[in-house]
Amino acid sequence: MQTTKKYPISRRSFIKVSAATTAGVSMLPLGSCNIGKVPAPMKRRFGNLDFNVTTLGLGGQASLQWTPEDIDPVPIIVKAFATGVNYYDTSNLYGPSQKNFNKAFKILNLIPGEDDYNETLRKSIWLTSKTHMRWGKPGWPDRKNVQNRSNGGASIKCAVDDLKRSLTQIFGDGEGYYPEGAYLDMILIHSLTNAEEVDVLYEGLETPLDPEGNFGALVALRDYRDGTNLTGMNPDNEKLVKHIGFSGHANPPVMIDMIQRDEFGILEGMLIAINANDKQNFNMQYNVIPVAAAKGMGIIGMKTFADAAMYHKELRWSHTPDDVFRKVGTPETPSRPLIEYSLTTPGVHTLIIGIGQIDDDPMKCQLIQNYYAAQIEPNGLSDEERLKIENMAARVKEGKTNYFQFDKVGLTPPRDVSVQEKNGKTIITWQTAYAGDNAISHYEIQVDGKIIGEVKHTPQALKKDPFVFETKKIDGAEIAVYTVDVAGDRKKAIPG
């Protein structure tokens, strides 16, 4: 991990440095992309993956998706490369976003097979796209409560189709061809919402795999990661993606379930909504993120500005160029503290931010300002500083900016408490509780109201490995297990 000061450059020094030289990208045929020399970007180890990721990643939405008439999105991508950003996000659901990457990648010599292909540069970046498909095989009807949509039209029927669509749009002709050597670093099952979706995704993994029948997206994408053809979907044994993950905005229990059911070594990355109003809802920072971190997943934050709801936009999803925010924060809600909050949330490695516009004036350039705000270490804010940012964010639209996130539930009891007798002993097991405003500290075991033991809370990485407490045989007494958080709040559960 590279280290840097919390505030690596003052405003005066920033202007001086930014005006000093444009040599870093002066050879690029896009004058508006000229930038001054900026410090090398801070990087963090990307989970257990063999990659050091910049703390700022370029999001694939904003002007890359809903492009205002006076904006060219290609220089935004090129300028991100010039600043040293190495994480790039896009999706099959983001309209022209992938095609805009194609235009930029032609300028940057990132098209495999071309005479000037810069393989070294390609290996230095991490390119992620997404699919909203839950099925791994085309031709199967949607199951109730399982979304299976794409911007690909009638020809897109499954996750494999979306994977190939990404490659043809980013590296090929956009009509189905992609060159040999084209690949994604990661594809995400996008916007996971409900339990039925998770069940579909694990079909063919938790259930017998029938190549003639139905199976979920995970087992099909695994074939294209490993170069195998267990599903019959990869007859040429192509390797088109290096890693598989998922994303979520709303439902911590479902996202935890998605992670805990992976006994197959498939999920390696997670994109998750995390901002300073997280605790106003069913929070991610004390629930999902620690579980993903325990599995060694690369964790990408998103929605640090709540899809611009922290600023000018109504509490709804963006869908037009007018929804794109094109300023650098506001005096009441500056962007820097919001970025720092997301990046000092334990477990987060990088933060993707959509860019509305760039500017030759660094003080007006969203990309440059966000870049500097992202130069912060994981522990770069104290608890007190994070609380101040939470209080600031809670004043914006009464703290209801996270329209995409489930309502607050608060601390819960342990789940699925079970008692068994074995070899003259009583064995009590349970599944993880969910945290409220504070992290969970431990679980307390009581018999007839008396404490007989405690079990420290650690993130539960696998569903098959519940919490366990073993004691001498208990006869004719009430057993209870309490969740206790770091503030001392408690919730009781008794065996069902």
Please check whether residues 455 and 378 belong to one and the same domain: no
Tell me if 49 is assigned to some domain.
yes
Do 254 and 227 lie in a common domain?
yes
pLDDT digits (tens, 9 = 90+) for 308-362: 999 999 999 999 999 999 999 999 999 999 999 999 999 999 999 999 999 999 9
Dist CA 57 CA 53 (whole Å): 8
| Same-domain status, 204 and 59 | yes
Residue 37 is predicted with a pLDDT of 74
Q: Which domain holds residue 127?
A: 11-399
pLDDT in tens, 441-480: 999 999 999 999 999 999 999 999 999 999 999 998 999 9
Q: Is the pLDDT of residue 30 over 70?
A: no
Q: Are residues 180 and 289 in the same domain?
A: yes
Domain count, the chain: 2
4 in any annotated domain: no
Query: Which among 197, 198, 222 is positioned nearest to 209, based on CA atoms?
Result: 222
Q: Which residue has the tokens 């539960």?
A: 460
Whether 348 and 462 map to the same domain: the answer is: no
Residues 351 and 457 placed together within one structural domain of the fold: no
Residue 405 falls inside a structural domain: no
Same domain for 163 and 209, yes or no, is yes
Q: Worst-scoring range by mean pLDDT, 133-142, 208-217, 234-243, 460-469?
A: 133-142
* CATH number, domain with residue 486: 2.60.40.10
Looking at every residue in the chain, the average pLDDT score rounds to 92
Q: What angle do CA 461, 464, 466 make, to 5 degrees?
A: 75
Identify the domain boundary among 366, 399, 432. 399
CATH number at residue 322: 3.20.20.100
Alpha-carbon torsion angle 363, 365, 369, 372, nearest 10:
-100
Inside any domain, residue 35: yes
Confidence of residue 36 (pLDDT cuts 50, 70, 90): low
Same domain for 395 and 421? no
**Position 13 confidence tier, pLDDT thresholds 50, 70, 90:** very low
- Burial per residue of 345-369, b for 16 or more beta-carbon CB atoms within 10 angstroms, e otherwise: bebbbbbbbbbbbbebebeebbbbb
What pLDDT, on a 0 to 100 scale, did the predictor assign at position 496?
A: 82
pLDDT score of 3 more than 90: no
Q: Write out pLDDT tens, residues 155-204.
A: 668 999 999 999 999 999 999 999 999 999 999 999 999 999 999 999 99
Q: 348 phi and psi, to 5 degrees? A: -80, 130
* Bridge partners of residue 430, in order along the sequence: 467
The pLDDT-based confidence of 147 (bands split at 50, 70, 90) is low
374 and 428 inside one domain: no
pLDDT at 9: 39
Higher pLDDT, 324 or 37: 324
- pLDDT-based confidence at residue 72 (cuts at 50, 70, 90): very high
**CA 106 – CA 77 distance, rounded (Å):** 12
Q: At what angle do helices 159-171 and 217-226 cross, to 10 degrees?
A: 50
The answer to whether residue 3 is domain-embedded is no
Among 343, 372, 399, give the residue marking a domain's end: 399
Residue 335 sits in the same domain as residue 436: no
Say if residue 388 is in the same domain as residue 420. Answer: no
Q: What is the pLDDT of residues 385-431, one digit of tens each?
A: 999 999 999 999 999 999 999 999 999 999 999 999 999 999 999 99
The answer to whether residue 406 sits within a structural domain is no
> Of 365, 399, 433, at which residue does a domain stop?
399
Kind of pairing between the strands at 350-353 and 415-422: unpaired
- Specify the pTM: 0.92
Residues 76 and 206 both lie in one domain: yes
Q: For position 138, what pLDDT does the model report?
A: 83
% of the chain surpassing 70 pLDDT: 90
Long-range contacts of 3-12 (CB under 8 A, 24+ apart): 3/42, 3/377, 4/39, 4/42, 4/375, 4/376, 4/377, 6/376, 6/377, 6/380, 6/381, 8/39, 8/372, 8/375, 9/39, 9/372, 11/363
Q: Are 393 and 310 in contact (CB under 8 A)?
A: yes
The answer to whether residue 138 sits within a structural domain is yes
Task: Identify the weakest region by mean pLDDT among 17-21, 97-101, 291-295.
Answer: 17-21
Please provide the distance, in angstroms rounded to a whole number, between the alpha carbons at the two ends of the chain: 47
Residue 2 lies in a domain: no
